[in-house]
Amino acid sequence: MTFPFEFKEQPERKSHGLRNFLTLIAALLVIAVAVVGVYVVNLSSTFDSAKKIAVEEVFPEETTRPAVAENKSQNILLMGSDKRGELSGDIDDAKGSRSDTMMVVHISSDRDSVHVMSIMRDSWVDIPGHGKAKMNAALAYGGVPLAVQTIEGLIGSRIDRIAIVDFEGFKGITNALGGVEVDNPVAFKSFEQGLNTLNGDEALQFVRERKSFADGDYQRVRNQQIYIKGVLRKILSAETLTNPVTINNLVSSMAPFLTVDSGFSSTYAGSLGFELRDIRMADMAFFTMPTLGTGMQGDQSVVNVDWDQVAVIKEHFIDDTLSKYEVPVRPAA
């Protein structure tokens, strides 16, 4: 069974996957905050004091990793924790859990574009040392280092920074923005087709629903992508970037629910943010690692990866040419 994919319209799947989207929002929020240079000094202490720093190593053995990119592009791995408010700074807490969604944010070497690739949690992939399994099993088998190693194998490129977001940060950032506007393509439950302004509770419902749709998780990931775009559009708007109270509320509401590697500091985020100061929505592209629909592996329902397309994507990651990649649009079965 195959469902259509459209470039810049695809995110990730499953209910807890919204936590990965929150991580993306948080990372790009810090970038957006950096645009407003006058606030960075005050906000840096808020960010650094509130976020959690992983006390365990989050990267795999160096001998197993791709080389550092000579072109100075950056890859940030964003993951969600299913600990529901319980993840501590000890990154080993994540081992044994399953990250329902993962995203790789690729920042081009010229800092002119940001590409976000979601990886569906049930993608049937090679987990180093464990054979074939669903993508989300990597975290359960070997914690964050194994998840990083698995993803680096898929993209052929190094993951430079890591952020994990906890569930409880969701409502705060939505409400701190004063609501998020989405253009809903398919009416369901209390959500009308067309423009809807969501508060924290409504946004949670919007990105989690799948049973109302004929193609289930595929429409859910589209809705999650729509929601993220709504959040980023609001963050990058003049009314937000020129309002120190809103920015402070955003950073304060999200930072306590972030666990990051030791290099993901306000200094790093502020420096990267300065480099990305001219980035706007038109410079960001979102897509899902291509699949060939669902299938079965024994008694497991899985998502079949389109390995031909993954090979193409891998080269684009390595060459820093994702702006030239076009995700194929597939007809519905």
More confident residue, 206 or 36: 206
Q: What is the chain's mean pLDDT, rounded?
A: 77
**pLDDT at 88 exceeding the cut of 60:** no
The CA dihedral of 81, 83, 84, 88, to the nearest 10 degrees, is: -90
Determine the pLDDT at residue 262: 85
Mean pLDDT computed over 238-266:
76
Pick from 63-67, 83-87, 146-150, 251-255: least confident: 83-87
Domain ranges in the chain? 15-174+243-308
Report the sign of the C-alpha dihedral through residues 258, 261, 267, 272, in that order.
negative
Confidence of residue 83 (pLDDT cuts 50, 70, 90): low
Confidence of residue 309 (pLDDT cuts 50, 70, 90): very high
Instruction: Look up residue 235 and give its two tokens.
Output: 């963050």
Q: What is the pTM of this model?
A: 0.79
Mean pLDDT computed over 90-108:
65
Determine the pLDDT at residue 21: 43
Mean pLDDT computed over 228-256:
76
CA distance 218 to 48: 36
Determine the pLDDT at residue 80: 66
CATH class of 15-174+243-308: alpha beta
